[in-house]
Structure 1
Amino acid sequence: MLKGVLIDWGGVLTVGLSQAVAEWIVDERLDATHYRQVMNELISHAYEGSGNGENAIHALERGEMSGLDFERHLADRLVTTDGVPPEAEGLLSRMFSRFHRVEPMYEMLRAVRAAGLRTCLLSNSWANEYPREGWDDVFDEVVISGEIGMRKPEPRIFEHALGRIGLAGEECVFVDDIETNIEAARRLGIVGVHHREPDLTIAELERLLRIPLR
């Protein structure tokens, strides 16, 4: 029987990554094609293991690189439609301001806790400020990569989260919008749910947990 839910933040408890970033690209007046080339290279290296060694995203998500240093690193690689780099300072804050919360997902977590299950936020941070208002109502524990020096998809961060809520992998379900992270969780016996949109995820959790969540 499943007794706990581990869940990501950005793109799961917020609007989708593509939507948030698309709004930010327009407001920053970035060259969208160039941005996607740069980020596809960084993300595929960080999450899919393409390339050798580690890059700035590994360091940022573990808290080994400051947000400002990453902003400078990223801004140097990007270009606006005017042909110049964007303003580095505050780049990440401006991007994360578009990650608006999705209320049905929070309502689902309240229902999960009301049913007696444990909940844990498990999020890779980009030195961003999380909107924590009301978190005590939906999370038993909070695990944020930059605060503990681990990141998804490293097995140790899942093990750390499981220890925080006192459950085994087989007793938990993990919800994330990145398949690589889900695959890592499954290797530890955790049930994985690939989040694409709220209604589908909530329906799948109702099926797995065997409780009404709406």
Structure 2
Amino acid sequence: MIWFDFGGVLSPPLAELYASYELKTGITPEQLAGAMKTVSDEMGMPPLAPVELASISEAEWGRGLARALVTDHPGIDLSRARLETFGEQWFEGIKANPVMMDAVRCLRESGITVGILSNNVVEWEAYWRLMVEPAGEIDFLIDSCKVGFRKPDPQIFRLAARTADIAPGQCVLVDDLAVNCEAAEAEGWRAVHFRDDRQALRDLGRLTGLSAAFENLPSLSRA
């Protein structure tokens, strides 16, 4: 079974998402990342964990971001930012990674079970689900904000394997963060550390025996 991360794998790279958000709002990636860290530090949690575990609402998180941005960057212009409905603006105009959409379809057509294992936010589900619709039906979804664990917590990998009723050694995680891949492997999973489309497909092809099929993905020839 192949478990895909959403952000940075099924979505465009995170650097592209941050750059797109800066164009929409004027808030730089460094400013935004700093504000996210401030809000999480105040709660004694890793960055993004408060909303990815649904410990606070998106609106509360957004107000915290605003406070941190104003405190750290006096005079910053937040007039274009809709921080209390952050996800709507973050995903606005963003399309899923077409190569990974084709890969998901190829896997399922080959009879391989596919799931999404993601650290995500309750209020963002409508936006990211719409993005991944072109991939077709997903067999299983493990979403941090619904289950109360987030990667790299080993409990989320144990829960995913139990939910799919499959042995850990039959699970493969495709994730853009090395720490998540390492945590999955520590639980007996295999992992593909996503760096770019072609590298990920090479590694995934070796694990699944679908190298030839992946080489012929329509979107890969256009990438």
TM-score range for the pair, normalised by the shorter chain length: 0.7 to 0.9
- The aligned residue for residue 13 of structure 2 is 16
The answer on whether the counterparts of 1:92 and 1:128 sit within 8 Å (CA) in structure 2 is yes
The letter of the residue matching 2:7 is: G
- The aligned residue for residue 60 of structure 1 is 51
* Distance across 1 between alignment mates of 2:18 and 2:209: 35
Cα displacement (A) at 1:35: 3.2
Pairing of 1:31-180 with structure 2 (within 5 A): 31-39=28-36, 41=37, 53-54=44-45, 57-79=48-70, 83-85=76-78, 86-97=81-92, 99-126=94-121, 127-129=123-125, 130-132=128-130, 134=133, 137-180=136-179
Alpha-carbon displacement from aligned partner over 1:37-65 (angstroms, at most 9, x marks no partner): 445x469x89xxxx994257222111121
* Distance across 1 between alignment mates of 2:158 and 2:134: 22
The letter of the residue matching 2:55 is: E
TM-score of the two chains, using structure 2 as the length reference: 0.80
The answer on whether the counterparts of 1:5 and 1:120 sit within 8 Å (CA) in structure 2 is yes
Alpha-carbon displacement from aligned partner over 1:69-108 (angstroms, at most 9, x marks no partner): 1111112112579524444322232112254201221111
Cα displacement (A) at 1:151: 1.0
Of residues 155-164 and 75-84 in structure 1, the stretch that sits farther from structure 2 once superposed is 75-84
- The aligned residue for residue 27 of structure 1 is 24
Percentage identity across paired residues of the two chains:
26
* Distance across 1 between alignment mates of 2:100 and 2:14: 15
The answer on whether the counterparts of 1:182 and 1:193 sit within 8 Å (CA) in structure 2 is yes
TM-score of the two chains, using structure 1 as the length reference: 0.83
Alpha-carbon displacement from aligned partner over 1:147-206 (angstroms, at most 9, x marks no partner): 222211111111111112221111121001111111110100111111121121112111
The letter of the residue matching 1:128 is: W
- The aligned residue for residue 221 of structure 2 is none
Higher relative contact order (CA 8 A, sep 6+): 1
* Distance across 2 between alignment mates of 1:137 and 1:91: 26
Cα displacement (A) at 1:125: 0.7
Change (3 A) 1:115 1:25: same
Alpha-carbon displacement from aligned partner over 1:4-63 (angstroms, at most 9, x marks no partner): 101101110111100111111122012454334445x469x89xxxx9942572221111
Change (3 A) 1:113 1:62: same
The letter of the residue matching 1:69 is: E
Match of 1:122, SS?
A: strand
The answer on whether the counterparts of 1:153 and 1:184 sit within 8 Å (CA) in structure 2 is yes
Match of 1:100, SS?
A: coil
Of residues 72-81 and 160-169 in structure 1, the stretch that sits farther from structure 2 once superposed is 72-81
Give the gaps of 5 or more residues in structure 2.
218-223
* Distance across 1 between alignment mates of 2:82 and 2:111: 47
The answer on whether the counterparts of 1:6 and 1:119 sit within 8 Å (CA) in structure 2 is yes
* Distance across 2 between alignment mates of 1:136 and 1:27: 27
